[in-house]
A and B are shown apart, each in its own frame.
Chain A
């Protein structure tokens, strides 16, 4: 390689290294940037309303396999879809409407109005049934890296799976 060619080669190398460095410092703003640092833009709010509506549509359809996908990843890492379906099939949802959503960073509060019933079922030797009942409540959703997920929370034990 001649001296000039060598110089050009070194310049190209330096330029490439520089561009890699610049790219590596700006790659956090890549096209598919996570909204995890978004405090609550309309886009993030709409995402929550859509996700919560889809979740409740699956619950009304009785599609627990689909509903499972909306739960937080901490639950899904510890409970299989089969186990989830087995534990959550007692309650039948007839109607559900997401009436309001609130976003505070990665914490979402979803207000839902549902009509549900519990057909005759045996729990620990005791028979239980609840007729069609309408109620409304707040539930918590969590934005975990790429999307909103419903927090799996056991009200009876006052504990969730996610630690945050």
Chain B
């Protein structure tokens, strides 16, 4: 009898809480919701896989707490207990020990400060945060990378110089796992303005920064790197238009590449450049098929050293006023099978007969070799839903039907506008989004959706 009771309890729990649902398709989907957490919607949030099985979420809640939550047990750690100032922006990387988590954020109290902390997820020990910088007046655009005991931090600051307030990119490095950091280094000192920091940290801990700079000659895309010997001189990749938000760097084998979205006299277009000599010289390419496409999302990933993928969402400004595509975002996918030297034309990965009337945007992407999976926000059901499609041949062909990752039309579930929150762990895919409590869409909680591809 006792066993029967346990079995009934198990079945009840399985059925209402974690049962895989298929939504009429062959892909089994599970979801975990965290209605106890109210997310700060503008701020980034992340899935953090540890030791190949545990998943943790990192986010900021509406009480200005920086929360680390274990997915299975729902155990909660708060990182900034007792810390003064409103936190904003949030970045993380894994430390030398796989259970060690390193997090940086910006806070505004009496002044603007950049903070850094280390957490051991085995012991749940949280160190006292250290102040990396308060001299550059850091703003909420921060990038963080770690390899072994090297920690690279790059951020956007507005410290004044003798000509007044100056917007520039700064960096600081640690070689002792984040216990101490170097003085802030101005990565773009020769510029009048530079506002979008990016960062790649390679396996040796070298940092690579790409950023748009504005100077007397106009606008340029600039590359700068640092090794154990220090920062090298900046290299101009070339003149560019006005960048809006999206600069995505990538390192594929020894090839460095950067994708960016800019506009020339109001005409938007996406471009890229790559270097095979460590950043000394660059080859540029224009994605001509993106001309007039005003971007609302961009992610670039590599499946391996040959297969590189770019996915965009954008509205087509070239359409006439009465064409809904002038207002409704669509998805554009490109693949490269030569490591990013050349790319395909745009591939349609969304399959909706009436798609021109509704938006598809904020694509998230993950790839392993020729298998590439894209999850995006789709409004075909009027409410914001997550849909997925995948390719197993390097992005050339896709499933005929897009796969909904939740009950179509029931909820408003939204991806973050910037962070790529789709990961693969041992054959299971996880995507982190937020789900609004009502159609007023002013309060939301995290939802973690997982699925496996059908063979």
A residues with CB within 8 A of B: 9, 13, 16-17, 20-21, 23-29, 34, 36-37, 39, 72-74, 76-78, 104-107, 142-145, 162-164
CA gap between A9 and B20 in the complex, in Å: 24
- The interface residues of chain A lying within 8 Å CB-to-CB of B407 are 28, 34
**Number of CB contacts from chain A to chain B under 8 A:** 92
CA gap between A36 and B23 in the complex, in Å: 12
B window 1-46: CB within 8 A of A: 3, 7, 11, 14-15, 19-24, 28
Q: Is residue B429 contacting chain A, with contact meaning CB distance below 8 A?
A: no
Q: Is residue B97 contacting chain A, with contact meaning CB distance below 8 A?
A: no
Determine whether the beta carbon of B22 is less than 8 Å from that of A25.
yes
Known contacts A105-B352, A105-B354: A24-B21 contact under CB 8 Å: yes
Most buried by A among B21, B407, B439: B439
Closest 3 CB pairs of A and B: A105-B354, A36-B409, A77-B440
- The interface residues of chain A lying within 8 Å CB-to-CB of B408 are 34, 36-37
Known contacts A34-B408, A39-B354: A77-B439 contact under CB 8 Å: yes
CA gap between A77 and B354 in the complex, in Å: 26
User: Chain B's nearest CB lies how many Å from the CB of A90?
Assistant: 26
CA gap between A78 and B23 in the complex, in Å: 30
Closest residue of chain B to A39 (Cβ to Cβ) is B353
CA gap between A23 and B379 in the complex, in Å: 28
Partner of A164, one of B15, B22, B382: B382
Determine whether the beta carbon of A13 is less than 8 Å from that of B409.
no
- The interface residues of chain B lying within 8 Å CB-to-CB of A17 are 11, 14
Partner of A74, one of B22, B352, B439: B439
Known contacts A76-B439, A104-B354: A145-B15 contact under CB 8 Å: no
Known contacts A16-B7, A105-B357, A164-B359: A27-B409 contact under CB 8 Å: no
Q: Is residue B283 contacting chain A, with contact meaning CB distance below 8 A?
A: no
Known contacts A77-B438, A164-B358: A27-B11 contact under CB 8 Å: no
B residues with CB within 8 A of A: 3, 7, 11, 14-15, 19-24, 28, 352-354, 357-359, 379-384, 407-410, 438-441
- The interface residues of chain B lying within 8 Å CB-to-CB of A76 are 439
- The interface residues of chain B lying within 8 Å CB-to-CB of A143 are 382, 409
Determine whether the beta carbon of B379 is less than 8 Å from that of A107.
no
Known contacts A36-B409, A105-B353, A106-B382: A16-B11 contact under CB 8 Å: yes
Determine whether the beta carbon of B409 is less than 8 Å from that of A24.
no
New A-B pairs, 14, CB < 8 Å, besides A25-B21, A28-B22: A13-B7, A16-B7, A20-B15, A36-B381, A37-B24, A37-B381, A37-B408, A105-B357, A105-B358, A106-B358, A106-B380, A107-B357, A164-B379, A164-B383
Closest residue of chain A to B12 (Cβ to Cβ) is A20
CA gap between A92 and B439 in the complex, in Å: 30
Determine whether the beta carbon of B409 is less than 8 Å from that of A145.
yes
Determine whether the beta carbon of B382 is less than 8 Å from that of A104.
no
Determine whether the beta carbon of B24 is less than 8 Å from that of A105.
no
Partner of A144, one of B11, B354, B409: B409
- The interface residues of chain A lying within 8 Å CB-to-CB of B7 are 13, 16
Most buried by A among B382, B384, B440: B382
CA gap between A107 and B384 in the complex, in Å: 15
10 contacts between A and B (CB under 8 A): A25-B22, A73-B439, A77-B439, A77-B440, A106-B381, A106-B409, A144-B382, A144-B383, A145-B410, A162-B382
